[in-house]
Structure 1
């Protein structure tokens, strides 16, 4: 599923938050109905409403009941939160860095070494706890995948960590939940939860160099990609492109979206993004390459689309 909703949960952490939310909603609804009933009785009850002005009514419903109800909800909420934030030994570790306005994603090996880097899409195996190490290089961002877990801020100069797992395979949309600048609303990402037995193969494939183009148009696109200086900002492993400013594009074609979840990933949107990045997402760090002609754009887009 691609819908972003805190009401559709697919993991234990989000499930606990959902349960707490529904209990809070139910408690608030019950209190609202009680207040409405008392108000109606006070307005329309006539002589029978005198008991509501008594001292006992104020003590029971004005003091005792709010204290009891709020205490129960507070204790339950704290207990549920402590359980949902308890840490296990993670099956894997992923480091996510908030950028302007996209997500740099490092897969970290068991010895703490970075195995490879990708962008704007995170793949995890189902049914196992994954630790997320959250950082930012510019301003405060907030990492949030509502169907899987709560939000956690990414603060400059600080490393925040939390864990969650996906209970079933699927595609879950995430979003920056802290205003971070002009294109905050266009700073999304996807978490793809895969069957556990398929995940090691994907992990191994991601560590390989980029695939070679198999068509004449793809070969031309690779030549243009290098010649126009794209490699100054982007890395494509297996080529001379080794830039670190922008996203790693080694397996770019396998991602579901471009520009941090802003557009679907296909040759048409790739060409449009290359030519008009500043029009589509103003003030991002990708310049618009309006100097490229239609056939050149199609060649570069074809090359990138096939980097899988």
Structure 2
């Protein structure tokens, strides 16, 4: 399996390819990804090389929740000829559009702006805030509201992050929100009793809890409810990303994903990477809801 890195050149190449496409006929333009996989062609999948989304192991193999989800879903469609390419995050969509890669599978969130350029599968994970506490959750914290309602409690977070802002929006006064410049200093503050919990994003918390220096000394507070805005808990929703002309395979992917979700396979893959029921997408929430008028 060959892995390669795409950087700034990919962005320039993508822009050049798009420009040329407008002026030069392309005989292969009509061939979709669905047509290619019927002929057992290789699918090249872009990842960002960051855990837990998608990353390269020391032995060269590829792990991560989105590569594993993709393998499972495409595998159920009889598609197994997959290679992975490590791509800088800003270059992922340009590389997809210019056909240097065929699918993006690396924790990309569905946004209306991105929906104008590419198409998304149905959301597979809801990524909100995580609360990290001492073992056993001694203060019984399961929401920002629990902290806001107790004037003796303080929370810590990384300086300037959305998680800190969410804690404030949920009602925790700023003088009880301590901000730090690094993860180690936040953990040290928790151990020292200067704070009672840490507000992190779910992926940050998952990676932090894998650190041998803190394993068994901290845990996620589960269940946990973050700030609620517009009737829904604040979160971003990840999905696989396809080119607009590959809608047929995207739709087949959605059908297969729904089947595997009903059998529990998706939850098993989530658990492998320490995602919990808290990260399940709310029932009924679709890519169309998140893309709005730009859904295709």
TM-score relative to the length of structure 2: 0.22
Pick 1 or 2: higher relative contact order, CA cutoff 8 A, min separation 6: 2
Q: Which is greater in Rg?
A: 1
TM-score relative to the length of structure 1: 0.22
